[in-house]
Amino acid sequence: MIRLLLPLIALVLLAVAPVMVTDYHLGLLVGALTYITLATAWALFSGHTHYISLATVAFYGAGAYTVAVLNESLPYPAVLACAALVGATMALVVGLSTLRLRGVYFVIFSFGLAELVRQLITWFEVNVTGTLGRYIFLDINTQQIYWQMLALGVATLLLTAWINRNRLGMALRVIGDDEAVAAHSGINLTRSKLLAFVLSAVILTLAGAITSPRYVYVEPAIVFNPTVSFLTVIMALLGGANRLWGPALGAVPLFLMFEWLSSNFPDSYPIFLGLVFIAVVFLVPNGLIALIERPVWRQKSNPREREESDA
């Protein structure tokens, strides 16, 4: 009962927060919710499969650019639907051609994908439309963006919880442990990985679409910033990418630290982020939740067993 009551209380408090805080703190809340959603969506695919993707910003930027292109010609809900369709299509094309890769090869390709999308949009804007950036004219304020992102974040958590409890979640966990065993167990590797990848990509794209009105002016260098991808990975790994609440636990402190560093050390904050990334990998490879759940002292009922363990 308490496990259900506490999240509900937190959700109510988050829902009423915009009317109780200043504009500055509301902006921080929007940013924190955005990264919670990004990290949770990233972990939906990568958390169990162990496919480390650096393509987050490719989908995030595609969502923002979809809004920038269509905001004056379609109603806002239709624009969001188009953004989701763009994300799903990109994920299908990329997934069918690259999910056979694994390890460092997939990491390199996913990073290159984000740069490829940025360069293609830049080339199209410069050579076809004759401009590099676009304005977003939508009558949407920060409070509305916050509530939309809160809804998307809650939906992402619910979807992740549902997947973790059904056959798809089990299939992803087996794939992450050993793909050969998964294949011999009768798991359809391509279908399982592709479905999780597409669901993750749609959420990442919608996150970019929802937050895009905050930019007002959009260009590739802004919405395809690779820092988004690296921060998302660090956040998910810090909290625990294979736990439901792990990405959220890692996103909040790292986002606040990133905001402070980028404000006070604008020229050198990437160095600090790199050090944090290294520290997370070496000090908490399984995430903070796993560290908290692990007992400091294993209680043994048998004193002799305790002595043998100490020895």
Q: Domain containing 104: what range? A: 21-310
The answer to whether the CB of 160 falls within 8 A of the CB of 40 is yes
Count of structural domains, the chain: 1
| pLDDT digits 0-9 by tens, 59-116 | 999 999 999 999 989 999 999 999 999 999 999 999 888 888 877 888 888 889 889 9
Res. 208: pLDDT tops 50: yes
Amino acid at 296: V
Tokens representing residue 17 in the block: 């927060």
Tell whether 175 is covered by a domain. yes
Measured between alpha carbons, how far is residue 198 from residues 27, 91, 167, 185, 255 in Å?
Answer: 29, 5, 17, 23, 26
Tell whether 16 is covered by a domain. no
Q: What is the CATH number of the domain that holds 82?
A: 1.10.3470
Count of all residues that appear for the chain in the document: 311
For residue 305, what pLDDT is reported?
A: 46
Phi and psi at residue 261, in whole multiples of 5°?
A: -65, -45
The answer to whether the CB of 133 falls within 8 A of the CB of 219 is yes
| pLDDT digits 0-9 by tens, 5-44 | 888 888 888 999 988 899 999 999 999 999 999 999 999 9
Measured between alpha carbons, how far is residue 244 from residues 15, 129, 204, 287 in Å?
Answer: 21, 43, 17, 12
Per-residue three-class SS string for the chain: CHHHHHHHHHHHHHHHHHHCCCHHHHHHHHHHHHHHHHHHHHHHHHHHHCCCCCCHHHHHHHHHHHHHHHCCCCCHHHHHHHHHHHHHHHHHHHHHHHCCCCCHHHHHHHHHHHHHHHHHHHHHHHHHHCCCCEECCCCCCHHHHHHHHHHHHHHHHHHHHHHHHCHHHHHHHHHHHCHHHHHHCCCCHHHHHHHHHHHHHHHHHHHHHHHHHHCCEECHHHHCCCHHHHHHHHHHHHHCCCCCCHHHHHHHHHHHHHHHHHHHCCCCHHHHHHHHHHHHHHHCCCCHHHHHHCCCCCCCCCHHHHHHHHC
Tell whether 15 is covered by a domain. no
Tell whether 53 is covered by a domain. yes
Tell whether 6 is covered by a domain. no
Tell whether 146 is covered by a domain. yes
For residue 210, what pLDDT is reported?
A: 96
Tell whether 182 is covered by a domain. yes
CA–CA separation, 254 vs 35, rounded Å? 9
The answer to whether the CB of 85 falls within 8 A of the CB of 152 is no
pLDDT above 90 as % of the chain: 48
Partners of residue 217 on adjacent β-strands: 135
| pLDDT digits 0-9 by tens, 121-153 | 999 888 888 877 888 988 899 999 999 999 999
CA–CA separation, 1 vs 189, rounded Å? 37
Q: Which of 209, 245, 201 is nearest to 36 (CA)?
A: 245
267, 269, 271, 272 alpha-carbon torsion, rounded to 10°: 160
Tell whether 192 is covered by a domain. yes
Whether this prediction's pTM lies above 0.75 is answered by: yes
Residue 61: count other Cβ atoms within 10 Å of its Cβ: 26
